[in-house]
Chains A and B, each alone.
Chain A
Amino acid sequence: MESVGVVIVSHSPKVAEGAADMVRQMVGEEVPLAWTGGNPSGGLGTDVGEIMSAIDRAWSDAGVVVLVDLGGAETNSEMAIEMLPDDRRNKVLICNAPVVEGAVVAATEAAGGSSVDTVRQTAEEYSAR
């Protein structure tokens, strides 16, 4: 089975892209990875449609974890997940972890072939240390 995908959602496209760069350099190419940032007008914020599209780009039948920064990013990601097709919705989990550290740890765990629940748990435990 392919590894769990990782999606990075920040209010800032630069933060999201930078975090994704770090994941690629530290973990490599084997984990499906996508990022999104910015509101529908290109300012700071998040965009439900773009989050749905990022989940699609990082899609894995093993599931996808989503790393978010502040409030609206989480609310918009929850909304995006609810709007996914029925067969995908339950395979996408938001991690309660810092974006950069969480994304790197999640991708590392995902690269080892862990389940989506384990990937989330590892990212959240790391951040709780």
Chain B
Amino acid sequence: MNLGVDLRAELVKAVAATIDRHADELTTLDQAIGDGDHGINMKRGFDAVLADVANLSAKPWPDFLKGVGTMLVMKVGGASGPLYGTLFMALGKNLPAEPGRDDLIRAFRGAIAAVQARGKSERGQKTMLDVLIPVAEALERGTSEIGALALAAHAAADATIPVKAVRGRASFLGERSMGHMDPGARSSALMIEAIGKVLEKA
């Protein structure tokens, strides 16, 4: 039995479960400042990943992550598909077959840069980057306790509430986007918490 296979399968199941549990909430957030499909789209994407979990998790880390990313690109249907798809595809491209903590941090940084390029966005623009970048920074500072990382992720998502959106559909609303949490920041924080909980036990 390959421990990696089980761990990969568990990660997929945990992320798919958290997306499923929060799909309505993500859609509600997106109805406030976007086009109201973030939860539905993410659920469609991760349901597809989950349906293929046996095949995907049998692959080594780089191919597994690329496979997850490609599936999200093809199935999600909104802008979050290419954005999350790029995140996972770039993680897969940047990780060695047997990754350690430092490899993970380096690959995560590279993947964040790829998402920035894909979305032509940067930090502070009310997007998923506002969660991913603070989490990368916490990892770089040596934080490894999952409670602290999840807390950092959720605090970063909360911090998008007062921000005025300048990227994505929410930017059409201008000042009216203020006072709402960014749905992509929320889904990123949820995924980081779910991934962290699985890795903590591994």
Binding site for B on A (CB under 8 A): 11, 39-41, 43-49, 70-72, 75-76, 78-79, 83
* A71–B165 alpha-carbon span in the complex (Å): 13
Decide yes or no whether B113 CB sits under 8 A from chain A: no
Decide yes or no whether B85 CB sits under 8 A from chain A: yes
Among the listed B35, B75, B119, B169, which residue makes an inter-chain contact with A40, where contact means beta carbons less than 8 Å apart? B75
Among the listed B40, B74, B79, B85, which residue makes an inter-chain contact with A72, where contact means beta carbons less than 8 Å apart? B79
Note all chain A residues with C-beta closer than 8 A to B76. Answer: 39-40
* A75–B168 alpha-carbon span in the complex (Å): 10
Chain B, range 65-93, C-beta contacts under 8 Å to A: 73-83, 85-86
* A49–B75 alpha-carbon span in the complex (Å): 9
- Contact, CB under 8 Å: B41 / A45: yes
Note all chain B residues with C-beta closer than 8 A to A75. Answer: 79, 81-83, 118-119
Decide yes or no whether B37 CB sits under 8 A from chain A: yes
- Contact, CB under 8 Å: B85 / A79: yes
CB distance from B74 to the nearest CB of A (A): 5
| Minimal Cβ-Cβ distance residue in B for A42 | B77
CB distance from B66 to the nearest CB of A (A): 12
* Number of interchain pairs (Cβ within 8 Å): 64
Decide yes or no whether B44 CB sits under 8 A from chain A: yes
Note all chain B residues with C-beta closer than 8 A to A79. Answer: 73, 81-82, 85-86, 118
CB distance from A70 to the nearest CB of B (A): 6
CB distance from A105 to the nearest CB of B (A): 24
Q: Which of B41, B75, B82 has the most CB of A within 10 A?
A: B82
Among the listed B35, B77, B85, which residue makes an inter-chain contact with A41, where contact means beta carbons less than 8 Å apart? B77
Note all chain B residues with C-beta closer than 8 A to A40. Answer: 44, 74-77
CB distance from B24 to the nearest CB of A (A): 16
- Contact, CB under 8 Å: B41 / A76: no
Note all chain A residues with C-beta closer than 8 A to B75. Answer: 40
- Contact, CB under 8 Å: A48 / B73: yes
- Contact, CB under 8 Å: A44 / B37: yes
* A11–B168 alpha-carbon span in the complex (Å): 15
* A75–B77 alpha-carbon span in the complex (Å): 10
- Mind listing 22 A-B residue pairs with CB under 8 Å? A39-B37, A39-B76, A39-B78, A40-B44, A41-B40, A41-B44, A41-B77, A43-B37, A46-B77, A47-B77, A48-B74, A48-B81, A70-B35, A71-B168, A72-B79, A72-B80, A75-B82, A75-B118, A76-B77, A78-B82, A78-B118, A79-B81
CB distance from A15 to the nearest CB of B (A): 14
Note all chain A residues with C-beta closer than 8 A to B118. Answer: 75, 78-79
* A83–B80 alpha-carbon span in the complex (Å): 17
Note all chain B residues with C-beta closer than 8 A to A41. Answer: 40, 44, 77
